[in-house]
């Protein structure tokens, strides 16, 4: 007696799941409309059984054979199924034709890809087919692995989703069987650690994965996961920006008066660095004063994004605005294919520096003296790394890791404007405009523009310097890469061949 079961359509064998990656590897613009915050998620053994219109996890058993694509007959007596539909008392038929790199040495399993930044022992056992449904906003904490009701925090396999926390120098790793983001769905990545999302099957992105910088309350200094925090001032003390190439803080020159301490010549902070150097927050001053230097790229690794590095923070003005946070770093890896649809996006841009605003010096002592100040430097763009045998980026899809712009400056405390966050297109973020009282001869002016595909970051005029653009890397097989000319990719991406482990 036999019974029919319908296997999954994932084109990857269980053996591939157990050895996805090579040993020896180390280790924002808003495009969504009307996205709702996810309050609940459904977990079922079949995604079609979900009654909650949010996100779902199918925790069914992963596919057992890459060549299985039709119903199989499973004998109740435990005999092996014949994949052609009949009964066979011997071993099931296996074909290497479905494997991107052919079979392994046994001839019974696919040879896995050699991914960057991930070791083989962290990908075993993830069975979840994770779907973020249309209009839903989910969030992944890259430090704990928590995803709301989709997955509790903690290391290991939870609800079929694996999570392995990183360190200060290595990324965290999230593992699934497949990942799908429907149109207008958004997965926000928050935390201090860069993250690698690994799927044994397909990754399809028609929504947005967002690793951009910026705080929940709208402040500038918060970084994306794996990025550097923007500099800021706390109790008259400058807290330096973080990251691989942070912008320096802008000095302030002044003198004590009968009501406190009046500053003049308040330099903006320098822009953060990553794929491009950050720009100065002010022009060179008299006597060889270099101004507020932007960050250097020397410590930011290379185009390979191995190690996986985010953007650096912009420097603060000692009197004035805080620096923008650096964009985060995200790697998306699939053993089969990654497809980014015409409304799909992966964002990892830096935040704009804050404008000088209205500064009270020594409030409550002998009165509060309103002064102007310099603008904060822009945060650098982060890193995006895509790895799969097949990577297809459609017309209209967006991959951006642009730099944030510097904030504007002022001399008498009139309103100035923050620099733009890194844009979701190929254009540079625009520097914040200065206060209406600003006279360029009186050491004030606009912030510098951020870096992008079409421009390197520009110097601030006592506003903050622009943050440099980040890095985008795509690894696929020689014939597996397709990036439509109508896709928006900024800065320019680099490529490398993805080979077998």
The tens digit of pLDDT for each residue in 102-145 reads 787 888 777 788 999 997 666 678 999 999 999 999 999 999 99
pLDDT higher at 163 or 217: 163
Q: Does residue 278 come out as left (phi exceeding 0), alpha (psi in the -120 to 50 range) or beta?
A: beta
pLDDT digits (tens, 9 = 90+) for 418-455: 999 999 999 999 999 887 766 666 567 889 999 999 99
Mean pLDDT, rounded, for 476-485: 94
Q: Which pairs count as long-range contacts for 479-485, CB under 8 Å and 24+ apart, including other chains?
A: 480/100, 480/337, 480/388, 480/389, 480/390, 480/391, 481/390, 481/391, 482/391, 482/392, 482/393, 483/391, 483/393, 484/393, 484/394, 484/395, 484/397, 485/395
Mean pLDDT, rounded, for 199-216: 95
Residue in the structure block whose two tokens are 């009701």: 149
**Whole-number pLDDT of residue 443:** 60
**Whole-number pLDDT of residue 217:** 85
Q: Minimal CA–CA distance to 198: which of 167, 177, 181?
A: 177
**Whole-number pLDDT of residue 15:** 43
Gap between the Cα atoms of 318 and 120, Å rounded: 47
Q: Minimal CA–CA distance to 463: which of 398, 364, 376?
A: 376
Q: Which of 45-59, 186-200, 281-295 has the highest mean pLDDT?
A: 186-200
pLDDT digits (tens, 9 = 90+) for 143-168: 999 999 999 999 999 999 999 999 98
pLDDT higher at 269 or 9: 269
| Confidence band, pLDDT 50/70/90 cuts, at residue 485 | very high
**Whole-number pLDDT of residue 154:** 97
First to last CA, the chain: 42
**Whole-number pLDDT of residue 35:** 39
Rounded mean pLDDT of the chain? 79
Tell me the domain boundaries of the chain: 2-27+37-201
Gap between the Cα atoms of 405 and 451, Å rounded: 8
Gap between the Cα atoms of 462 and 465, Å rounded: 8
pLDDT higher at 176 or 40: 176
**Whole-number pLDDT of residue 79:** 40
User: CA 43, 45, 47, 49 torsion: positive or negative?
Assistant: negative
Residue in the structure block whose two tokens are 């061949």: 497
pLDDT surpasses 70 at 19 = no
**Whole-number pLDDT of residue 441:** 62
**Could you tell me the CA-to-CA distances from 498 to 80, 114, 278, 335 in Å, in that order?**
34, 7, 31, 11
pLDDT digits (tens, 9 = 90+) for 334-380: 999 999 999 999 999 999 999 886 544 444 433 344 456 788 999 99
Percent of the chain with pLDDT over 70: 70
**Whole-number pLDDT of residue 290:** 56
**Whole-number pLDDT of residue 265:** 54
Q: Which of 182-191, 258-267, 401-410 has the highest mean pLDDT?
A: 182-191
Residue in the structure block whose two tokens are 């092996």: 80
Gap between the Cα atoms of 112 and 23, Å rounded: 11
**Exposed (0-12), middle (13-18) or buried (19+): which is 243, by Cβ within 10 Å?**
buried
Mean pLDDT, rounded, for 84-101: 59
| Confidence band, pLDDT 50/70/90 cuts, at residue 267 | confident
Mean pLDDT, rounded, for 204-212: 98
| Confidence band, pLDDT 50/70/90 cuts, at residue 189 | very high
**Could you tell me the CA-to-CA distances from 394 to 59, 288, 488 in Å, in that order?**
29, 50, 9
Task: Give the range among 225-229, 386-390, 462-466 with minimum mean pLDDT.
Answer: 462-466
């Amino acid at each position: 007696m036999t019974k029919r079961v319908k296997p999954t359509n994932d084109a990857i064998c269980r053996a591939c799941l157990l050895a996805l990656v090579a040993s020896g590897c180390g280790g924002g613009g808003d495009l969504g409309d009307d996205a709702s915050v996810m309050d609940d998620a459904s977990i079922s053994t079949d995604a079609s059984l979900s009654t909650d219109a949010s996100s779902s996890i199918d925790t069914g058993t992963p596919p057992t054979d890459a060549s299985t694509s039709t119903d199989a007959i499973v004998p109740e007596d435990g005999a092996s199924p014949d994949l052609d539909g009949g009964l066979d008392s011997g071993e099931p038929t296996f074909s290497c034709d479905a494997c991107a790199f052919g079979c392994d040495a046994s001839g019974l399993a696919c040879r896995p890809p050699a991914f960057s930044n991930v070791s083989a022992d962290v990908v075993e056992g993830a069975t979840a087919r994770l779907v973020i449904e249309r209009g839903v906003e989910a969030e992944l904490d890259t430090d704990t692995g928590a995803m709301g009701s989709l997955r509790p925090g903690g290391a290991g396999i939870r609800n079929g989703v694996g999570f392995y926390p990183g360190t200060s120098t290595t990324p965290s790793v999230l593992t699934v069987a497949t990942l799908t983001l429907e149109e207008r769905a958004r997965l926000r990545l928050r935390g201090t650690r860069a993250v690698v999302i690994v799927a044994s099957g397909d990754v399809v992105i028609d929504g947005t994965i967002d690793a951009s910088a910026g705080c929940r309350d709208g402040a500038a200094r918060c970084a994306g996961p794996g990025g550097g925090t923007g500099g800021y001032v706390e109790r008259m003390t400058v807290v330096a920006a973080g990251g691989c190439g942070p912008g320096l803080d802008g000095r302030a020159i002044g003198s004590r008066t009968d009501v406190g301490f009046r500053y003049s010549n308040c330099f903006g902070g320098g822009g953060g660095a990553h794929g491009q150097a950050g720009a100065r927050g002010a022009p060179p001053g008299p006597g060889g004063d270099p101004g507020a230097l932007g960050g250097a790229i020397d410590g930011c690794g290379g185009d390979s994004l191995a190690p996986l590095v985010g953007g650096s923070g912009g420097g603060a003005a000692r009197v004035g605005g805080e620096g923008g946070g650096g964009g985060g770093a995200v790697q998306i890896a699939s053993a089969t294919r990654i497809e980014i649809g015409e409304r799909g996006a992966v964002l990892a841009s830096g935040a704009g520096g804050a404008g000088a605003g209205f500064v009270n010096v020594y409030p409550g002592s002998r009165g509060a003296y309103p002064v102007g100040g310099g603008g904060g430097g822009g945060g650098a763009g982060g890193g995006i790394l895509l790895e799969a045998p097949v990577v297809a980026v459609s017309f209209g899809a967006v991959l951006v890791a642009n730099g944030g712009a510097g904030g504007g400056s002022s001399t008498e405390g009139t309103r100035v404007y923050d620099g733009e966050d890194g844009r979701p297109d190929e254009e540079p973020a625009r520097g914040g405009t200065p206060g209406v009282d600003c006279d360029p001869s009186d050491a004030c002016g606009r912030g510098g523009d951020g870096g992008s595909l079409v421009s390197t970051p520009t110097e601030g005029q006592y506003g903050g310097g622009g943050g440099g653009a980040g890095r985008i890397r795509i690894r696929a097989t020689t014939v597996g890469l397709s990036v439509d000319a109508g896709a928006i990719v900024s800065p320019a991406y680099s490529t490398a061949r993805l080979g077998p482990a």
